[in-house]
Chain A
């Protein structure tokens, strides 16, 4: 790891100011950034920790939504969102291992937008709003391909507003080595219709499976999509699965999420 400066502001404004300097980068739970710095793949000159900012912490119900501070660790979401939004809490509880869940945060996960990460499926699958220091971004506009988002340089996610679903569930099929999602599907049922978001499968990162959404909006049951198949072009091919396998898993995991939704 190269040497770096470390600052820990206590407000979003201070953090934004600190990030204005060249080569400064926000540090949240550090579960992605620190390993990449240790591997010398990343060498920011200044790390601006977001963990000392009170307004970026916590899980708070607000008029049919759940607002979660971007610096809230996964373990806190798993515990505190459980009674409000069990599908979301269960997703947070399946990320990594206890150490990762106690450090890693919602904002870090969404900013990083790993194509196999779990939270992007929840954000897109609920039609969440990503709130930053500068603006609000709809999830449908936020995710722009693997490791790519709508965030501008120096922009910080401060919180995320998740519309609470009538029923929801996340079905994750583990990549056996990393235990990220080989394919994970978040299904959420709203009065306005059903949303289905898929992570881990596509070379373009998290995506919505429109055909399944249409079928499930008509009939929210696993049978309604029994015959539906997801196309395999643009699916990831790696040591752990072929594009065909991933496309197949999208169907299986979607059905399992629907069956498990509550």
Chain B
């Protein structure tokens, strides 16, 4: 096997060379001949009725090609939502129209009202200032509970209320769950907020629309995590352009974290305007615009309760959550607080009865959708905070309480009461590993040493489960998904033996170009440098459903394995012909085909050349060429899990928390590239710690965004996130995909917030501040200090 770049090797990421040398090609690097620029005039009020838009002055400004308003989009559809949730009464969710440009009303600060296309970006911006919009400001709804109150102003006049849906899961279990609480020996409850976040990828969104009258065809270059999904949604539902006339290209993309999954109005605008104006139209978001137009993440308010018996076995769990949808339904928004959240509420535990209630609410804020982890961080945060609180209230060791209720290694596959079946896992093993790496046994000594310096040291634990590798298409179809969730790959072997792999799974930081090549190199036994991974262009890659939910290796990688197996099967037949042997007797090893038990062999390039120069070839039985496509639809989710330990020091004078060490012991199943996995976990931890300690997206009660720039929205910096120890040696391979992989992209962001908060509460309790049972994220110095004083 190619030891330096096969499965298990920490091959350096090949894509990093171009990124680090300034040779990356991002959407904003694309400049087409005759390109024009659009600037969106966005609402500066959260809620208002548009009484008139006067564009005459703007239209007369230098360089202006056209000013668009909603009137120009009467033939277009709204931005569609990709998931329909059915509520607990069997009714489908309320689904408002999401127009490309505001129709009649503006519903959040940043809602686009008009768009100016001009020769230059500055001209477009100048002209936008000359547009006169007459807006009657309406009372805004920002708080979710207030939005549901009788008589609250409605975000959408044509809906019956601001309630998108009231979801219960598992509805049939509800009475049994409540009954279990009645007879419980102990009940522990907690009210908490999962703070709203802004993804802030390094590269803001960009879109370039192009129209070619020669073939009446459209091209959209866009910063997307899933160009095929954009092609389908925008083509079929918004602009009525069939797929064969629409090409969507997502070139190098500088991070997404979920925020670049969705189909956005700006993409449809640029595609449409390019045809109207017969000129390419480009939009580049500013950072300020990103804060008010990229989908936000999280924003749940929850009450969670746990029932325990006298022996501290968990007997039931119930929750009541409010999930903010914002002003419109973003592509996957309805699925996040439901199917990606409720199904994880068993955590790592044997809790037999669970009931989850989620009310999704419209407010006059930016739409909320998946952000790294999507629903699973919200679930994990609730469970792991509550279990910690339970241990404190019962006066037992939080580690032992967890272990007592863990699903044990010999109980897999495990059917949870919330629909999903965990295939594998070993939670005691990851817990042991974390405690060992954390040197937990000597924590008390370190705490003494901190105390001598006037600091409070704390240790926090979280054990998470997530469902990745989304998902069996028939299952998600039943749950309301309006798409399938398979992946696909085409493996094209070239005549001289080099290999071009076309994958539907876009890469924007995940390192697919490296790790996917490692998989193929391992299977065939050729050097990874002879393999190129192509992605991101719908004109040459097979249909992909997108890179999110830690699904690319588990689903996309499995499609590559399937296609490569087809290649190997056919190559063996060609080799059998060349070697005058039966295909069953051909073995492939280290890039060489040989006849078992003989010294007869032909190497890889001998076979590939024969496939394309078929002079000595079984043409009657076998087509020439060597190119195969495969689709892979998973039969289950994958279930990564892990134990996280966070050691902090808290300054009691200022309330400031410093992370001293963070230990992540994950079970990701098999590992293809350990270095990439480590990098993914580091990034996830940074985002999770950011959420726990500093990031917070805040609106005032008028719907004005208070944290609208990096001056107020605190992103973690390198010196905020240090002391990471990452381990993935605990491996229980996934049983249902060919690589045995589970996925690692979101784990860090899922497991870390409760570990950080638990550590802070631990530090405070050790110092005698036992009245502090919870602090809402982010645990800013001001909040921690206030909690201590309370």
- A residues sitting closer than 8 Å to B (CB atoms) are 1-2, 39-40, 173, 176-178, 182, 238-242, 244-245, 248-249, 252
Instruction: Please give the distance in Å from B657's CB to the nearest CB on chain A.
Output: 11
User: Is there an interface contact between B122 and A239, defined as CB atoms closer than 8 Å?
Assistant: no
- B residues sitting closer than 8 Å to A (CB atoms) are 122, 125-126, 129, 288, 653-656, 693-694, 696, 698, 706-707, 710-715, 780-782, 785-786
Among A40, A177, A182, A241, the residue within 8 A (CB) of B711 is A177
Instruction: Please give the distance in Å from B716's CB to the nearest CB on chain A.
Output: 9
User: Is there an interface contact between B714 and A176, defined as CB atoms closer than 8 Å?
Assistant: yes
Instruction: Please give the distance in Å from B780's CB to the nearest CB on chain A.
Output: 7
Interchain residue pairs with CB less than 8 A apart (21): A39-B288, A40-B125, A173-B654, A173-B656, A176-B694, A176-B714, A176-B780, A177-B694, A177-B710, A177-B711, A177-B712, A177-B715, A178-B711, A238-B706, A239-B698, A240-B780, A241-B782, A245-B786, A249-B654, A252-B653, A252-B654
* Contact A178-B712, Cβ < 8 Å, known A173-B654, A239-B706, A240-B780: yes
Contacts of B715 in A (CB 8 A): 177
Counting from the closest, the 10 A-B pairs by CB-CB distance are A177-B714, A176-B714, A241-B782, A245-B782, A178-B711, A176-B694, A252-B653, A177-B712, A245-B785, A239-B698
How many inter-chain residue pairs (CB < 8 Å) link A and B?
Answer: 50
Contacts of A1 in B (CB 8 A): 122
User: Is there an interface contact between A242 and B710, defined as CB atoms closer than 8 Å?
Assistant: no
Q: Bound complex: CA of A159 vs CA of B653, how far in Å?
A: 38
Instruction: Please give the distance in Å from B453's CB to the nearest CB on chain A.
Output: 14
Among B654, B656, B694, B786, the residue within 8 A (CB) of A242 is B786
Nearest chain A residue, comparing its CB with the CB of B125:
A40
Contacts of B653 in A (CB 8 A): 252
Contacts of A176 in B (CB 8 A): 693-694, 714, 780-781
Instruction: Please give the distance in Å from B126's CB to the nearest CB on chain A.
Output: 8
Instruction: Please give the distance in Å from B400's CB to the nearest CB on chain A.
Output: 35
Instruction: Please give the distance in Å from A235's CB to the nearest CB on chain B.
Output: 12
Q: Bound complex: CA of A176 vs CA of B654, how far in Å?
A: 13
User: Is there an interface contact between B785 and A248, defined as CB atoms closer than 8 Å?
Assistant: yes
User: Is there an interface contact between A239 and B696, defined as CB atoms closer than 8 Å?
Assistant: yes
Most buried by B among A39, A177, A238, A240: A177
Q: Bound complex: CA of A238 vs CA of B780, how far in Å?
A: 12
Q: Bound complex: CA of A241 vs CA of B782, how far in Å?
A: 5
Contacts of A244 in B (CB 8 A): 786
Nearest chain B residue, comparing its CB with the CB of A256:
B653
Q: Bound complex: CA of A241 vs CA of B784, how far in Å?
A: 11
Contacts of B694 in A (CB 8 A): 176-177
Q: Bound complex: CA of A126 vs CA of B125, how far in Å?
A: 45
Instruction: Please give the distance in Å from B720's CB to the nearest CB on chain A.
Output: 8
Q: Bound complex: CA of A241 vs CA of B710, how far in Å?
A: 17
Q: Bound complex: CA of A92 vs CA of B763, how far in Å?
A: 34
Among A39, A177, A238, A242, the residue within 8 A (CB) of B713 is A177
Q: Bound complex: CA of A40 vs CA of B122, how far in Å?
A: 11
Contacts of B711 in A (CB 8 A): 177-178
Contacts of A40 in B (CB 8 A): 125, 129
Nearest chain B residue, comparing its CB with the CB of A38:
B286
Contacts of A177 in B (CB 8 A): 694, 707, 710-715
Q: Beyond the given A176-B781, A178-B712, A238-B712, could you list 12 further A-B residue pairs with CB under 8 A, ordered by the A residue number?
A: A2-B126, A39-B288, A40-B129, A176-B694, A176-B780, A177-B711, A177-B715, A238-B706, A240-B780, A241-B781, A241-B782, A252-B653
Instruction: Please give the distance in Å from B705's CB to the nearest CB on chain A.
Output: 11
Nearest chain A residue, comparing its CB with the CB of B720:
A176
Contacts of A249 in B (CB 8 A): 654
Q: Bound complex: CA of A173 vs CA of B653, how far in Å?
A: 12
Contacts of A173 in B (CB 8 A): 654, 656, 781
Instruction: Please give the distance in Å from A4's CB to the nearest CB on chain B.
Output: 12
User: Is there an interface contact between B707 and A239, defined as CB atoms closer than 8 Å?
Assistant: yes
Contacts of B785 in A (CB 8 A): 245, 248
Contacts of A242 in B (CB 8 A): 782, 786
Contacts of B288 in A (CB 8 A): 39
Nearest chain B residue, comparing its CB with the CB of A253:
B654
Instruction: Please give the distance in Å from B578's CB to the nearest CB on chain A.
Output: 63
Nearest chain A residue, comparing its CB with the CB of B707:
A239
